Amino acid sequence: MVERRLGEPKQRPESMADRIYARLKEQIFSFSLMPGDRFSESEVAQWMEASRTPVRDALYRLQQEGYVEVYFRSGWQVKPFDFKYFEDLYDVRIVLEEAAIRRLCDSLLRQAGPAIEELKATWLIDDDARLSDGQQVSALDERFHCLLVEACGNEEMAAIHRGISERMRIIRRLDFTKGPRIDATYNEHGAILRAVLKRRGEEALRLLKSHIEASKAEVRKITLHML
């Protein structure tokens, strides 16, 4: 059930809708609201201590983003998992990231720029400097892949990739619920980045594909277990 906080000050409808949207989205991402769960606008309004208008606005926003569905006269539902949908997103993501790595290895962009410097500062570090919190590493993992694409200099490619990353966030964070996967992510990201910096394109592509496939397999296993 969605967490309810008592005694919160009343807010104007716009900010209330934003708050409800953010809290519902977090509940979906954390699987407190499971795929297939059904609820009504009145129930959400009660949980959030809000009127139905901002609740409806938040739910329609989540519907546009593909997280919930509305059923005539029967309320709302968290969208059931569609593995084919996420497989398709993984495929598109790999294509974009492979194209970015090829551009990086064929150009001098790897030698300068804030994106590359941020990647080096985050991932090419000593073991004792690594983070261990799964949510923090999940955010850094998404940032790693987005920065790889941003670093190649194609803004449209980077925008498409960010949109795909947002839609995949709900399942990608499952990959960081276990310690070994966190360590593996640091090792694999470091290896990919070193290959890019040395312009070893084929090695970087092979490492990238292996890294994403391992993550995809782990997420699918955890998701099936949770469901």
Q: Based on the number of CB atoms within 10 Å of its own CB, is 128 exposed (0-12), middle (13-18) or buried (19 or more)?
A: exposed
Give phi and psi for 67, each to the nearest 5: -95, -25
Cut 0.85: pTM above it: no
* CA neighbor of 147 nearest in space, from 161, 168, 129: 161
The edge-to-edge listing of strands for the beta sheet with 75-78 is 38-39, 75-78, 68-71
CA distances, 191 to each of 79, 108, 184, 196 (Å): 36, 19, 11, 9
Average pLDDT, the chain: 87
The predicted pLDDT at position 158 comes to 96
pLDDT classification of 180: cutoffs 50, 70, 90: confident
At 152-164, the pLDDT tens digits run 989 999 999 999 9
The C-alpha atoms of residue 89 and residue 96 are separated, in whole angstroms, by 11
Q: Could you tell me what percent of the chain has a pLDDT over 70? A: 89
Q: Which of 26-30, 46-50, 88-92 comes out lowest in average pLDDT?
A: 26-30
Q: Which residues pair with 69 in a beta bridge?
A: 77
